[in-house]
């Protein structure tokens, strides 16, 4: 039986016993690293950006800090901790919330935040972004777009094809979906990945939140590579989806599957719905502009040289132009 690749991708991550339906460690003991697992200064720098945004009167002091897909809750906790360090009075007025579809992850997040802050910080939880109704929000989503189900696109003899999965093997069939054909024409995609979920996600945010700053970090570019980036992460090994002898049956639901994000598509998904201001830059440039080096200077004045140097090494991983610094991009959408 042929299964559309996007359905297969969705089932892999979110279906019954899917990879994201089970709590997974991130970092050394998991299948991959993220910026959050690399250094608390990633969340700390976002926290500084939030403080500066409010002090510049771009958002009010009673704004809701909303994280989408918080996994363990580490990022929101780091943001809160640094807001407390930089401007503790804001914690009296700010609101905090998480969008998380999986109950077991909500339990993990609640427990971690409770253990971190006790009853001093109240966090609201939503099952889906469509449930959120707010006047003002600073929305944070780290590495979320690379987990949207995607189609695999291939052009053969000038005919657009899409992937299906048959008995754990990927095959291609002629595409008859006009929406996919038109999207591929628009973004000049002849080979690679295309997600059809961005528009609904953006519509929910724009429709349900009157004024917002939405910040996301992910790997990708503003143009199509016209090559397959879809890959599997298992115990810190990377397997291209079309690697010879790749055992999809073994990896299915037991490892992470991902791909590079087309940021032009993400930006258009917002601009087609509402008029937005857009900032797009490398993670290196964004974190430096947001003040990560100033935060390190503050740290140096308050800890031992040994501890300071340890944190500097972690921050270098975040901003190294040969690694995460250029590979990851920051997108900031303002409405």
Q: What strand order describes the sheet that includes 231-234?
A: 237-240, 231-234, 256-258
- 99 secondary structure, DSSP code: E
What are the pLDDT digits (tens) for 259-311?
Answer: 999 999 999 999 999 889 999 999 999 999 999 999 999 999 999 999 999 99
**Average confidence score pLDDT of the chain:** 93
Give the strand pairing for 191-195 and 150-156: antiparallel
What are the pLDDT digits (tens) for 5-37?
Answer: 999 999 999 998 899 887 555 544 444 456 787
Where do the H-state alpha helices sit in the chain? 5-14, 35-38, 40-55, 74-86, 103-117, 178-187, 198-208, 248-251, 263-271, 283-290, 292-300, 305-319, 324-327
- 207 secondary structure, DSSP code: H
Both tokens of residue 325? Answer: 């610094």
Q: Report the C-alpha gap between 91 and 95 in whole angstroms.
A: 8
Q: What is the pTM of this model?
A: 0.92
Q: What is the CA radius of gyration of the chain?
A: 20
Percent of the chain with pLDDT over 70: 96
């Amino acid at each position: 039986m042929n299964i559309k690749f996007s359905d297969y991708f969705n089932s892999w991550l979110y279906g019954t016993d899917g990879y994201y339906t089970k709590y997974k460690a991130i970092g050394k003991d998991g299948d991959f690293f993220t910026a959050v697992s690399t250094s608390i200064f990633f969340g700390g720098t976002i926290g500084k950006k939030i403080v500066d945004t409010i002090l510049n009167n771009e958002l009010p002091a009673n704004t809701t800090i909303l994280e989408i897909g918080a996994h363990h809750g580490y990022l929101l906790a780091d943001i809160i901790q640094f807001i407390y360090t930089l401007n503790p009075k804001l914690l009296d007025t700010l609101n905090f919330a998480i969008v998380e579809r999986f109950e077991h992850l909500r339990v993990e997040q609640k427990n971690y935040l409770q253990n971190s802050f006790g009853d001093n910080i109240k966090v609201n939880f939503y099952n889906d972004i469509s449930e959120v109704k707010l006047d003002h929000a600073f929305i944070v989503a780290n590495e979320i777009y690379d987990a949207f189900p995607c189609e695999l696109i291939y052009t053969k003899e000038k005919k657009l094809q899409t992937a299906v999965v048959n008995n754990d093997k990927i095959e291609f069939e002629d595409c008859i979906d006009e929406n996919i054909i038109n999207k591929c024409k628009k973004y000049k995609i002849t080979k690679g990945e295309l997600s059809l979920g961005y528009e609904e996600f953006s519509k929910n945010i724009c429709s349900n939140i009157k004024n917002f700053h939405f910040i996301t970090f992910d790997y990708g570019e503003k143009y199509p590579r016209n090559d397959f980036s879809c890959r599997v992460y298992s115990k810190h090994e990377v397997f291209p989806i079309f690697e010879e002898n790749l055992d999809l049956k073994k990896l299915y639901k037991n490892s992470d599957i991902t791909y590079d994000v087309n940021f032009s598509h993400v930006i258009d998904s917002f601009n087609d719905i509402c008029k937005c201001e857009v900032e797009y830059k490398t993670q290196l440039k964004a974190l430096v502009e947001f003040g990560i080096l100033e935060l390190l200077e503050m740290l140096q004045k308050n800890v031992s040289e040994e501890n300071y140097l340890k944190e500097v090494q972690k921050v270098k991983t975040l901003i190294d132009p040969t690694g995460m610094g250029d590979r990851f991009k920051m997108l900031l959408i303002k409405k």
